[in-house]
Amino acid sequence: MGRGAYALARVAVVVRAPAGWLWWPGLLAAGIGALVPGLTGRTVGVAAGAALFVGAALVVFTVRRGRYAALARGASRAGKAVILQDRSVTLRIWRRAHRWWLLLAFLAAVASSGVLPAAGGLLMAGAALGLWGKAWWLGRWEREHEALLWLRTESARRGGAAGKEVRGYVLTGTAAGDGRPGGARAGNARSGGARAGTRAGGPRAGR
């Protein structure tokens, strides 16, 4: 990385990074839990799990949206000395940093079925749905403004996409990086990072 250069990760990719790792293990834990009678019985457990699913999705979707919106409004145009981190790299870094927490969450969800069958797994799945919803919300902002939101990778590692370590977002054009608005994988994804001066820029980046 050149002198004075720093790396940027997509905000929406950081937001949605945990989703798949909560959704599928959550559904698996719920399926395992549905086979266990539990102290409260399957009917009560699944009903409680459904309520937790909806509640978790709504809470995760709405929490800190004001902070995201404020950071997006104050975003500045990317300079020439930044490196855009590939979507796959952002996801891999997150997975490596949180793999043991994900395992503990899965085991706790399965163990909770001894009391409320399937409830813990549905809670995890609901949180995943909320994260996907928030990424979709960010993607709608990016499409409306014809720009992509990025943040410094070291800030994302320490506090997530809207933590206290995040001082501001950076804007690029929609052609930058290898992900669509909202952080989903692009159909013609390109490999390797790129400097903002060559691929991240564009006349609409500052909108």
For residue 3, the model assigns a pLDDT of 52
Mean pLDDT of all residues in 195-206: 42
Residues 6 or more apart whose Cβ sits within 8 Å of residue 147:
75, 171, 172, 173, 174, 204, 205, 206, 207
What SS3 state is found at 54?
Answer: helix
- What pTM, to 2 d.p., does this model score? 0.86
Residue that the structure tokens 């959704």 belong to = 23
For residues 93-123, one letter each, b for 16 or more C-beta atoms within 10 angstroms of the residue's C-beta and e for the rest, the string is: bbeeeeeeeeeebbeebbebbebbbbbbbbb
Lowest mean pLDDT among 1-5, 88-92, 178-182: 1-5
Q: How far apart are CA 178 and CA 18, in angstroms?
A: 19
Taking only the tens place, the pLDDT of each residue in 99-151 is 999 999 999 999 999 999 999 999 999 999 999 999 999 999 999 999 999 99
